[in-house]
Structures are given as structure tokens and as C-alpha cells.
Amino acid sequence: MNESDADMGAVTETPGGDYRPWTVIAAAGLFWLLAIGLAAAGGWGLLQVVTGGVDSASAAVGVVVVAWLLAAYHWLIGRRFLQRRNVIAQAVFMSLLWLPVGWFLREAAHPALGLASWALAVAMLAMIMAPPTRRAVGFGDGRPFGE
């Protein structure tokens, strides 16, 4: 709700207009944590290429590039959450992708990493779909099409 001054138009905003619930901060933090982990994994992969620890350097470089691109995208989603932009759909999609990653990690003899991946996906979905987060970013406001 804005108050108006006859000479200046709208001069004040409602107090608390920049309020971020803890769920938004937690969701952004989880995405940033993932971004840091993916960037570190890319750095480790690059180190493996440099030291000759891989059979195919071109394939390893491809994995490094994908890891860094995913890290940048996760960082962007976290940043947009803090800006209170509606990135719910992208965040849910990226969170759900960690479920099959966890399954593949468990099948590749890394059960602890697989379970951690599943726990991370569940925590991210819980923070994203929490009512305070959805209200803070304006998810489901029902704006007419084309506006």
C-alpha cells in the first residue's frame, strides 16, 4: 500500500516490503552450497586432466565444463531467490535432477554420496515449496496471461 503526496505521487512503501523469510535464505544457501561443490568438482576434474589421471582428456574437459556451467546456474538460482524473483519452477527442476544423481551414485558404489544427494534434493524441495518462500517470490499470484 502506497501513501500519496499531492505534489510527489507515491512517496512511501509499506514497511517490511524487503522482508525475506528464512526459507528463502536457506533455499539460496543450499543452491550456493551446490554451486560451490560443483565448481570444486570441476576444479578437481581439471587437476586430474593436468596431472594425467584420466584416460580421455577431452571427455574429462567436457565433464569439467558441464560441472562449471551447472555451478553457474545453481549460483544464479540462489541469487535470484535472494532477489525475491520467481524461480520456483527452475529450482524444483534442478532439485529433482539430484534424485537420479543419487541413484547413480549409489549404484556406482558410493552409497553415502547417493544418500547425501537424496537428502539434499529433499531439503531443497522443502525450502522451495515452503509457503513463506512461495509468498515471498510471488509464486501462484494468478496474474492474467500476457501481463
Burial of 147 (0-12, 13-18, 19+ CB in 10 A): exposed
Beta bridge pairs of residue 12:
3
Tens digit of pLDDT for each residue in 53-86?
889 999 999 999 999 999 999 999 999 999 988 8
Q: Please check whether residue 43 lies inside any domain of the structure.
A: yes
Are 12 and 3 in contact by the 8 Å Cβ rule? The answer is yes
Q: Please check whether residue 147 lies inside any domain of the structure.
A: no
Supply the range of the domain harboring residue 126: 22-131
Q: Please check whether residue 141 lies inside any domain of the structure.
A: no
Q: Please check whether residue 80 lies inside any domain of the structure.
A: yes
- Predicted TM-score (pTM) of the model is 0.78
As a whole number of angstroms, the distance between CA 1 and CA 16 comes to: 11
SS3 percent helix, strand, coil of the chain, rounded to 5, is 70, 5, 25
Structurally, the chain folds into a number of domains equal to 1
Q: Please check whether residue 10 lies inside any domain of the structure.
A: no
Q: What percent of the chain has pLDDT over 70?
A: 83
Q: Please check whether residue 109 lies inside any domain of the structure.
A: yes
Q: Please check whether residue 35 lies inside any domain of the structure.
A: yes
